[in-house]
């Protein structure tokens, strides 16, 4: 099954569906990532914060998949804000993963209280110029954080990776992204597998297509243009989450899911998170 590619604002193309490894224990990561790669995933989303970059690299090395067919994202940890630290943090990630470049390097959180995200972004611009990453972006940035990057630096982020699922749809940020050529990456796309997947609206749509609630939600993301990377350490679910390109939601079904918005965050509010 072919995963569609989404073109970013610097001409690179990211697979729209990937595999997220947040909270996968390092001892389970090689197996989980290997299963994902065998299933057909070619995009892995990790971070310095997740503590499993070395194991992601090990699975990639074991796979024999040519490097140019893979998309690897990692993120600058909150302890590494600053022009120099952001670059040396990427050097360390590359060393851990055994790679000479990543495909996407993100600032993980803006940390407004530290007020270093503009300097950090300039560090990412330098890493990009040095060929250590094929694209740069941010995560958990609000419009007013993005405004500063747009006015004070030379590069528009290729993506903003934000909490986004049917209970937290981020209409404001999505339209900001659209206006500025920034792609939306959705984290916790299936709401961390908690309450969301029990919603009766999803059960009805899932039944109509012979799919699971998780597959319906992932399909909704794909149809509204989001880039997604659901996490699972279970082989059957890793495969299930990949089987979303053989059915299509109707406009009415998309509207039903659009109607599930609750502005309900599972994670921290980026304006208040400074650690
Ligand atoms: P998710 O929405 O992907 O949910 C994962 C959980 O859902 C799993 O732990 C499992 O319990 C359950 N699950 C998985 N597949 C299922 C299925 N088919 N049916 C039923 N339940 C299923 O949540 P996530 O891991 O928080 O987010 C995905 C990825 O997003 C992460 O791995 C990470 O790469 C990224 N992320 C980024 C940030 C950030 O700040 N940038 C924050 C959180 C997550």
Whether the CB of 189 sits within 6 Å of ligand 1: yes
Q: What is the C-alpha separation between 138 and 12, in angstroms, rounded? A: 16
Whether the CB of 22 sits within 6 Å of ligand 1: yes
Measured from the Cα of 165, ligand 1's closest atom is: 2
Q: Please confirm, yes or no, whether 50 is among the known catalytic residues.
A: yes
Task: Report the separation in Å between the CA atom of 147 and the middle of ligand 1, taken as the mean of its atom positions.
Answer: 28
Q: What is the C-alpha separation between 222 and 178, in angstroms, rounded? A: 15
* Contact of 188 with 165, CB cutoff 8 Å: yes
Task: Report the separation in Å between the CA atom of 22 and the middle of ligand 1, taken as the mean of its atom positions.
Answer: 7
The pLDDT score that the predictor gives to residue 58 is: 98
Q: Taking Cα atoms as reference points, which of 194, 196, 206, 173 lies closest to residue 260?
A: 196
The pLDDT score that the predictor gives to residue 171 is: 98
Sort strands 13-15 and 5-7 into parallel, antiparallel or unpaired: antiparallel
CA 20 to chain centre: 7
Residue nearest to atom 26 of ligand 1 (CA): 188
- Which of 41, 50, 105, 176 is an active site residue? 50
Measured from the Cα of 191, ligand 1's closest atom is: 2
The pLDDT score that the predictor gives to residue 194 is: 86
Count of CB atoms situated within 10 Å of the CB of 100: 10
Q: Taking Cα atoms as reference points, which of 144, 145, 95 lies closest to residue 120?
A: 145
CA 123 to chain centre: 21
Sort strands 71-76 and 43-45 into parallel, antiparallel or unpaired: parallel
Whether the CB of 29 sits within 6 Å of ligand 1: no
The pLDDT score that the predictor gives to residue 275 is: 85
Q: What is the C-alpha separation between 246 and 107, in angstroms, rounded? A: 34
Q: Output the pTM of the full model.
A: 0.98
From first to last of the 275 residues of the chain, give the pLDDT tens digit: 789 999 999 999 999 999 999 999 999 999 999 999 999 999 999 999 999 999 999 999 999 999 999 999 999 999 999 999 999 999 999 999 999 999 999 999 999 999 999 999 999 999 999 999 999 999 999 999 999 999 999 999 999 999 999 999 999 999 999 999 999 999 999 999 989 999 999 999 999 999 999 999 999 999 999 999 999 999 999 999 999 999 999 999 999 999 999 999 999 999 999 98
């Amino acid at each position: 099954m072919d995963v569609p590619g989404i073109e970013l604002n610097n001409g690179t193309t990211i697979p729209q569906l990937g595999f997220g490894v947040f909270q996968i224990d390092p001892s389970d990561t090689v197996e989980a990532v290997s299963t994902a790669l065998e299933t057909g995933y070619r995009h892995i989303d990790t971070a310095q914060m997740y503590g499993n970059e070395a194991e992601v690299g090990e699975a990639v090395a074991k796979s024999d998949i040519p490097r140019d067919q893979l998309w690897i994202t990692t993120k600058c940890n909150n302890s590494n804000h600053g022009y120099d630290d952001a670059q040396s943090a990427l050097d360390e990630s590359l060393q851990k993963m055994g790679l000479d470049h990543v495909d996407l390097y993100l600032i993980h959180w803006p940390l407004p209280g530290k007020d270093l995200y503009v300097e950090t972004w300039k560090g990412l611009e330098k890493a990009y110029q040095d060929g250590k990453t094929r694209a740069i972006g941010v995560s958990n940035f609000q419009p007013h954080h993005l405004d500063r990057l747009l006015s004070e630096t030379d590069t528009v982020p290729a993506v903003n990776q934000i909490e986004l699922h049917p209970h937290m749809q981020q209409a404001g940020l999505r339209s900001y992204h659209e206006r500025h050529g920034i792609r939306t990456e959705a984290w916790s796309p299936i709401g961390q597998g908690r309450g969301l997947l029990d919603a009766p609206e999803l059960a009805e749509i899932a039944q109509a297509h012979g799919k699971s609630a998780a597959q319906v939600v992932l399909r909704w993301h794909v149809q509204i243009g989001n880039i997604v990377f659901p996490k699972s350490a279970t082989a059957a679910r890793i495969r299930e989450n990949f089987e979303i390109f053989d059915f299509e939601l109707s406009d009415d079904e998309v509207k039903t899911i659009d109607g599930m918005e609750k502005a309900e965050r599972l994670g921290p509010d980026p304006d208040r998170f400074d650690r």
